[in-house]
């Protein structure tokens, strides 16, 4: 197991900032996930830790040793990329064996131990029957599993996994979430895992770092990041479909009115008290997740109907449906049971659960409460 620290890492490419004063620390033996969209800086962090890239400034500390200027082969890290890079003239077995045959590690294991490691990893990744094939005889998913296996066959101080299962089919990718977590727990090797997939991030991570254009937005345990987003970016990015955001304006009577709703939405007295205690008597951004919005009965003039609009999109995923309702000023998404889903182009009513509101400062975008 190893400890890893990044201290004030900065990196630019052609005057474009890839990383902006990034500092983070991995605890021994944890699976730490870098979560962000394309261009967030995930791969740059992994490349700097592995030695593929050098930072413009800052330090990389592994087990209390400054390795910032070390060559990649001196760092005792093992890396897997999104794009599998296999040796075409080697069989699957030889590709998996290759990391154990490098001059710096050739004497670490006996020939029998090396063969056992290769076969164990191959069987775990469902490529045991492919050991005698060459890369040009494999599918894209099989190639990616071989590339991942080549990383896992070693036991370095730290694994660096850069979207390592991105090209697998959905069924195998889902299975690999749990398999990778199982391997990581069994080996106890500190692992840095980069992904743009929120399901991977939330299901696999011990802790998550949310990145945005080279900046760290929030670091925390999955439940904490999901339930207590620090700002609007995290609140909308960690949720799929994204959190709905409304503008709300403070009134002289102490209440708020929402833009985009057909009737008044009450903010709970306890939330008003919190906002008042923080000196908030201005415009707000109010967020609510699609799962906390429900359908109402328009024909009975339900007093809980806060929004009335036309259904412009229906996405059904098994027992769950996501509907998009268009109002005069905005679109609102609700996540409901599929047996309740309305027909496209029909008019529906929606109720917003006011015990599930998140409040944000519209200027700083930071969460207020």
- Predicted TM-score (pTM) of the model is 0.89
By mean pLDDT, which of 182-186, 236-240, 276-280 is the weakest? 276-280
* 300 in a structural domain: yes
Nearest in space to 149 (alpha carbons), one of 137, 70, 135, 136 = 135
Pick the last residue of a domain from 207, 237, 267. 237
d(CA 168, CA 52): 25
pLDDT at 321 over 90: yes
Q: What are phi and psi of 132, to 5 degrees?
A: -95, 0
- 271 & 183 share domain: no
The CATH number linked to 178 is 3.40.50.300
Task: Identify the pLDDT of residue 255.
Answer: 66
Chain centre to alpha carbon of residue 87: 31
Structure tokens at 139: 């599918």
Mean of the per-residue pLDDT values of the chain: 88
- 89 & 183 share domain: yes
Based on the structure, what is the number of domains in the chain? 2
- 53 & 179 share domain: yes
Residues 6+ apart with CB under 8 A from 103: none
- 174 & 220 share domain: yes
* 151 in a structural domain: yes
Pick the last residue of a domain from 237, 253, 274. 237
Give the pLDDT mean for 334-340: 92
By mean pLDDT, which of 25-34, 122-131, 257-266, 343-352 is the weakest? 257-266
- 260 & 233 share domain: no
* 248 in a structural domain: yes
Distances (CA, A) of 178 to 12, 33, 240: 35, 14, 21
Domain that holds residue 37: 4-237
pLDDT at 339 over 60: yes
- 277 & 331 share domain: yes
Q: What is the pLDDT of residues 77-88, one digit of tens each?
A: 999 887 778 899
Q: What is the pLDDT of residues 48-74, one digit of tens each?
A: 999 999 999 999 999 999 999 999 888
The CATH number linked to 307 is 2.40.50.140
Structure tokens at 260: 């985009």
- 142 & 260 share domain: no
* 122 in a structural domain: yes
pLDDT at 303 over 70: no
Strands 65-66 and 57-62: antiparallel
- 39 & 153 share domain: yes
Cβ-in-10-Å burial (0-12, 13-18, 19+) of 195 comes to: buried
Pick the last residue of a domain from 237, 261, 290. 237
* 368 in a structural domain: no
Distances (CA, A) of 75 to 61, 64, 71, 92, 211: 10, 13, 7, 26, 25
Task: Identify the pLDDT of residue 264.
Answer: 67
């Amino acid at each position: 197991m190893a400890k890893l620290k990044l201290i004030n890492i900065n990196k630019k490419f052609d005057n474009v900032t890839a990383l902006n004063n990034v500092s983070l620390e991995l605890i021994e033996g944890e699976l730490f996930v870098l979560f962000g969209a394309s261009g967030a800086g995930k791969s740059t962090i992994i490349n700097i830790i592995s030695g593929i890239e050098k930072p413009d400034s800052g330090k990389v500390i592994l087990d209390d040793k400054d390795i910032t200027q070390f060559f990649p082969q001196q760092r005792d890290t093992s890396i897997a990329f999104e794009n599998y890079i296999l040796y075409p003239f080697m069989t699957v077995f030889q590709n998996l064996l290759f990391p154990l045959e490098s001059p710096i590690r050739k004497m670490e294991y006996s020939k029998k131990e090396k063969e056992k490691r290769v076969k164990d990893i191959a069987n775990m990744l469902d490529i045991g029957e492919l050991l005698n094939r060459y890369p040009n005889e494999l599918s894209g998913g099989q190639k990616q599993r071989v590339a991942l296996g080549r990383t896992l066959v070693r036991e370095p101080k730290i694994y660096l996994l850069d979207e390592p299962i991105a090209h697998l089919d959905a069924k195998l990718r889902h299975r690999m979430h749990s398999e990778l977590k199982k391997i990581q727990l069994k080996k106890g090797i500190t692992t840095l895992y980069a992904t743009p997939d929120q399901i991977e991030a939330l299901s696999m991570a011990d802790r998550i770092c949310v990145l945005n254009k080279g900046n760290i937005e929030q670091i925390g345990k999955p439940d904490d990041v999901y339930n207590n987003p620090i700002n609007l970016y995290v609140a909308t990015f960690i949720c799929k479909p994204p959190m709905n955001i409304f503008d709300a304006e403070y009134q002289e009577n102490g209440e708020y009115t929402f833009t985009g709703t057909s009737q008044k939405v009450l903010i709970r007295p306890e939330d008003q008290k919190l906002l008042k205690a923080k000196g908030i008597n201005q415009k707000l951004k109010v967020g609510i997740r699609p799962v906390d919005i429900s359908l109402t009965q328009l024909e009975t003039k339900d007093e809980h109907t806060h929004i009335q609009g036309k259904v412009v999109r229906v996405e059904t995923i098994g027992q769950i449906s996501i509907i998009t309702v268009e109002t005069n000023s905005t679109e609102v998404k609700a996540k409901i049971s599929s047996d309740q889903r309305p027909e496209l182009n029909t008019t529906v009513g929606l109720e917003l659960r006011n015990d599930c509101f998140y409040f944000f400062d519209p200027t700083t975008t930071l969460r207020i409460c």
